Each structure stands twice: as C-alpha cells, then as structure tokens.
C-alpha cells in the first residue's frame, strides 16, 4: 500500500499541475473573452483534475473491492489535498477580473 500511495502522490501532483496548466493555456488561447468560462471556472480547475486524480487512483488499485479501506481513505485525502494545493485563489477569477 505504501508504494502505491507514494506513486499516487508523485504522479498525481504532476498530473494535477499539468491539467491546471493545460486548462489555463487553453483558456488563454481559445476562450479569453468567454463569460461562460469565467463564470464556470471550477469545471476545468476542479472537476477535470479531480476526475483525473480519481481515475489515476483507480488505475493504481485503490477503490477496488479487495483493497484496504484505510488506503482508499488516504488516497481520497491525498486527492483532495492535491486539488486544494494546485487550485489557488487567483484561478477563481481567472486573473483577469477587475
């Protein structure tokens, strides 16, 4: 369990940062003037990285019927912590609000 959790933390941190950077680049490139994107900022910065982290956790063997519930709880806590650390307050307003 320890190895899977460490792998999840390392790869998950890289994945969360990569998804956030990609979402920001896509926003600047394609949707810079979109009011819908500014109102629904949580979709690319919370929901998409959260789903990616949960998919990574499932692919590493967490949340399966034979796995330990303690390990599942730690993986879920790590996913929430990674989301909290990668989504700064500046993303709530896309850095463009006045």
Task: Please state the separation of Cα 63 from the chain's center in Å.
Answer: 17
Structure tokens at 37: 């994107």
Q: In angstroms, rounded to a whole number, what is the distance separating the alpha carbons of residues 95 and 98?
A: 9
Please name the residues in contact with 87: beta carbons below 8 A apart, sequence gap of 6 or more: 20, 45, 46, 49
> pTM of the full predicted structure?
0.79
| Contact by Cβ (8 Å): 16, 81 | no
* pLDDT band, very low/low/confident/very high, at 97 (cuts 50, 70, 90): low
Question: For 48-83, how does the pLDDT look when each residue is reduced to its tens digit (9 = 90+)?
Answer: 889 999 999 999 999 888 878 999 999 999 999 988
Residue 81 vs residue 1, higher pLDDT: 81
Q: In angstroms, rounded to a whole number, what is the distance separating the alpha carbons of residues 68 and 24?
A: 36
Q: What percent of the chain has pLDDT over 90?
A: 33
């Amino acid at each position: 369990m320890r190895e899977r959790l460490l792998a999840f933390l390392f790869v998950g941190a890289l994945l969360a940062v990569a998804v956030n950077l990609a979402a920001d680049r896509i926003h600047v490139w394609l949707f810079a003037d979109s009011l819908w994107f500014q109102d629904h900022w949580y979709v690319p910065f919370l929901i998409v990285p959260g789903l990616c982290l949960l998919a990574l956790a499932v692919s590493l063997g967490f949340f399966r019927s034979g796995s330990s519930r303690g390990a599942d709880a730690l993986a879920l806590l790590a996913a929430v912590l990674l989301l909290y650390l990668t989504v700064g307050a500046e993303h709530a307003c896309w850095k463009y609000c006045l």
